[in-house]
Every structure is written in structure tokens, then in C-alpha cells.
Amino acid sequence: MEYIQRKTLLYKTEVEYGDYTLNHIQGCSHGCLYPCYAYMMARRFGRAKSIEEWMEPKLVSNAIELLKKEIPKYKDKINSVHLCFTTDPFMYGYDEICNSSIEIIKLLNTNDIPCTALTKGILPKELDCTDKINSYGITLISLNESYRKKNEMNSAPYLERVNSLKYLHDKGFNTWVSIEPYPTPNILEQNFDDILNAICFVDKIIFGRLNYNKKVSEYKNYQDFYNNLVEKVIEYCEKTNKKYHIKDGTYKK
């Protein structure tokens, strides 16, 4: 594992459902090929020259030190801190990254700051001793393991992800799922209901289309396809008393 130092960590994000966020890792071993927006930005701004370089994560070694300085400065403005928008806090097979994320969450919690976390790895069981003000999520866009191995090559198997989320749900945590970036049927033919059934216990669903991929627009009536799924998600969430968020640009009339 390589290490880097940063000058700052906490910042207010422009991402539509985010408040404050931090990224204490540069790069992501999961190597998603949809493409990964974080990788596209890293390449544009010179933080990664190739996907191979992006997939060698570098951990920020002074993250705790920075947070101790920044928390008092931002505390009154923060509603929650999200880990992470440009990397994965529970990268599959990287215990050091997982431990660093848990330490960060605990530090924020001791300052009464709730955290949200989203992963394509496994949510560690050790999160069960964090504060119940946190909410934990996984990304789940399919249950098809062949699709995962091809498009999210080093991420955790889907059912392992779901089971780790269910464990935290059973421990009383608020849980959520991000069904994004959802592929069109010309990319992957699958039954959307199977995904909803797999995560039926969660408190919130985020749904979003696949962007920056030419194959989407090659699918005839792709907008109708996404509109129908949005309607389905809303109806399902209203019926099962879940919160939901539809990502900008997914539904268009």
C-alpha cells in the first residue's frame, strides 16, 4: 500500500444528495469500467495516468491529523459526512483502508457528526460498534456475477455485499442502496424486481441511469426504459415506506 499526504480533507460537495464529504484514499482497486466518473476526473486533473495506476490505491496517511484540525472549523455547518464520492471506503480485500475508514467514522461520531458510507466492497462487521447516527449503504446494480466480474472486476460479490448490509440493518442501523449506474437491456438483460427483492430491508433507495456510455443511447427508447424504472422505484418505495432519491437526468419527459 502506498501513502500520500494531503493538505485538506473535509469539504462541501456539489453532489446532489451530499453535504460534507472526504476522500482519504486516492484511486480505487475496484476498477469499474462503466466508466468510473472518479477515474475520468482523476485522469483529467493528472491524479492518475491510466486505469492501472487508478487501481493502485494510495491511502492518505495524515487523515486523522487533518480531521482533528478541520472538525472544529466546520462542525457547526455539517449535517453529515459522506465516505466517499471519489473512491471506495471499504475497498474489497484492503483491511488497512477499511480500518482507516472506521477510525475516521468514529472520530466524526465523537464530535456528534453522522456519517454515511457507500461501498462496492463488504461493510465490515466492526461497524456495528459505531454510533447509530450513521447510515450504511452498498451499490447494487445487478445480481449477475458475470456482469460484476467484467464491469466491477475487483469489487465484492453481490450477495456478500447484501449480507454485510443486512447484518448492519439487523443491528439497528439505517441502511440504503444505490442502484446506479443502472445498465440498459442491450448491456445487460435482467429482472429489476430481483434487485428490489434482494434489498427489500433497506430504508432508502437511490436510483440513477448509466451515464458516459454510448451503448445507452444505442438502446431504442432508453429514456422510456429509465422513466418506467423510476416510476417503479417510486411506487415501490411509497408502498414499502422507504425514502428514495432519483438522480438528476434519470427521468425525463
Report the amino acid identity of residue 36: C
Candidate segments 35-43, 100-108, 194-202, 208-216, binder of ligand SF4 by CB under 6 A: 35-43
Name which position in 10, 25, 28, 162 contacts ligand SF4 (CB under 6 A): 28
| Residues 111-170 interacting with ligand SF4 (rule: CB under 6 A) | 120
User: Considering beta carbons, is residue 88 or 104 the nearer one to ligand SF4?
Assistant: 88
Binding of ligand SF4 by 32 (CB under 6 A):
yes
Beta pairing partners, 236: none
**Calpha distance 157→162 (Å, rounded):** 9
**Residue 97 is a binding residue for ligand SF4 (CB under 6 A):** no
Please select the residue that binds ligand SF4; options are 88, 115, 208, 250, rule is CB under 6 A: 88
Q: Which of 185, 52, 204 is CA-nearest to residue 116?
A: 204
* Distance of closest approach, residue 32 Cβ to ligand SF4, in angstroms: 3
All 3 cell numbers of residue 202? 433497506
Check: CB of residue 29 under 8 Å from CB of residue 94: yes
Q: Among 10, 22, 39, 122, which residue sits at the site for ligand SF4 (rule: CB under 6 A)?
A: 39
Q: Which is nearer to ligand SF4, 18 or 31 (CB)?
A: 31
What φ, ψ does residue 3 adopt, rounded to 5°?
-125, 150
Q: Determine, following the binding rule CB under 6 A, whether residue 38 of this chain makes contact with ligand SF4.
A: yes
| 180 touches ligand SF4 by CB under 6 A | no
- Judged by beta carbon, residue 155 or residue 184, the one nearer ligand SF4 is 155
Residues of the shown chain interacting with ligand SF4 in the complex, contacts defined by CB under 6 A: 28, 30-32, 36, 38-39, 87-88, 120
